[in-house]
Amino acid sequence: MNNPLPLVVANLKANKTWDEISSWIDDVANLAQNFSGTIIFCPSSPFLAASYQKISQNGINLKLGSQDISRFEQGAYTGEVAASQIADICQFTIIGHSERRHNLKEDDETLRKKVENAKNAKIEPIFCVQNENTPIPQKVEIVAYEPIFAIGTGNPDTPENVQANAQRLMAKGDYTILYGGSVSAGNVKSFVKDSIQGVLVGATNSVDPQKFINIILSLK
Ligand code: PGA
């Protein structure tokens, strides 16, 4: 992984139409140009290709990530998006988000296959865990520590606890560790230091481009 740190992931979840996504990119583009870290923009899958075109045609300093990837490779899997189908346009993919573990009942074996497919397609997984006891598949390099109580609640973990969890995760492998859960412009600086090398920002503070811009500004 040779993208400049910190990594700041914008996970828009199932929000926005193409027009709104296009204007989100416009809003963030200028600031992204001068950001020394890496912004990873994760819109819904149907908008990845158009986002890619817009970003590459205009030389915008955003990387693209999918919010998920199929556990299957290309074939008779209606509705799925295989890693190799988006390998040309995505550099990252979120795998194991707690919303998918919970709502879609994704288990450890499913997530292991997703990581394997992503890696085979040269897409870097951003693997979400709740603590150091969550199994992390081999070859994962980026791990996002995301305690459930902090996701979408406005109630983030404490910086001390985040660092302690990052230390425990780093004892398990040579990971780049991100923190996710109610990250805002007001608290992002307290997380991104020492063992934490970026943040995963969910819908609360990424859907509104101004809130996301304020997070980037706080990191500068
Ligand atoms: P949040 O979500 O930033 O809205 O709390 C975080 C996440 O879903 O990863």
* pLDDT exceeds 90 at position 171: yes
Q: How close is the Cα of 187 to the center of ligand 1, in Å? A: 14
Cα 166 to Cα 59, 190, 209: the distances in Å are 34, 14, 28
Which residue owns the Cα nearest ligand 1 atom 1? 202
Q: How close is the Cα of 9 to the center of ligand 1, in Å? A: 10
Q: pLDDT tens digit string along 34-55?
A: 999 999 999 999 999 999 999 9
Q: How far apart are CA 9 and CA 63, in angstroms?
A: 9
| Phi-psi map region of 182: left, alpha, beta (phi>0 left; psi -120 to 50 alpha) | left
Atom number, ligand 1, closest to the C-alpha of residue 156:
5
The H-or-E segment that residue 24 falls in is: helix 18-33
Which residue among the candidates 97, 99, 106, 124 is catalytic per the annotation? 97
* pLDDT exceeds 90 at position 1: no
Q: How far apart are CA 202 and CA 211, in angstroms?
A: 11
What does the pLDDT read at residue 158? Answer: 98
Q: Is ligand 1 within 6 A of the CB of residue 65?
A: no
Q: How far apart are CA 94 and CA 84, in angstroms?
A: 15
Q: How close is the Cα of 10 to the center of ligand 1, in Å? A: 9
Is 146 a known active-site residue? Answer: yes
* pLDDT exceeds 90 at position 2: no
Q: What is the mean pLDDT of residues 7-19?
A: 98
Is 97 a known active-site residue? Answer: yes
Q: How far apart are CA 43 and CA 90, in angstroms?
A: 11
Q: Is ligand 1 within 6 A of the CB of residue 11?
A: yes
Q: Which of 156, 76, 68, 150 is nearest to 113 (CA)?
A: 68
Q: What is the mean pLDDT of residues 76-104?
A: 97
What does the pLDDT read at residue 129? Answer: 98
The pick from 12, 129, 187, 200 for probing ligand 1's pocket by mutation, whose C-beta has the most ligand atoms within 8 angstroms, reads: 200
Q: pLDDT tens digit string along 131-154?
A: 999 999 999 999 999 999 999 999
DSSP assignment, residue 207? S
Quote the mean pLDDT of the chain: 97
What does the pLDDT read at residue 220? Answer: 84
**179, β-bridge pairs:** 145, 199
Q: How far apart are CA 22 and CA 29, in angstroms?
A: 11
* pLDDT confidence bin for 80, thresholds 50/70/90: very high
Q: Is ligand 1 within 6 A of the CB of residue 28?
A: no
* pLDDT exceeds 80 at position 83: yes
Which residue owns the Cα nearest ligand 1 atom 3? 202
The answer to whether the CB of 98 falls within 8 A of the CB of 107 is no
* pLDDT exceeds 80 at position 90: yes
φ and ψ at 32, to 5 degrees?
-60, -35
Q: Is ligand 1 within 6 A of the CB of residue 211?
A: no
Beta strand 7-11 pairing with 176-180 = unpaired
Which residue owns the Cα nearest ligand 1 atom 7? 202
Atom number, ligand 1, closest to the C-alpha of residue 150:
5
Residue at token pair 């998918």: 100
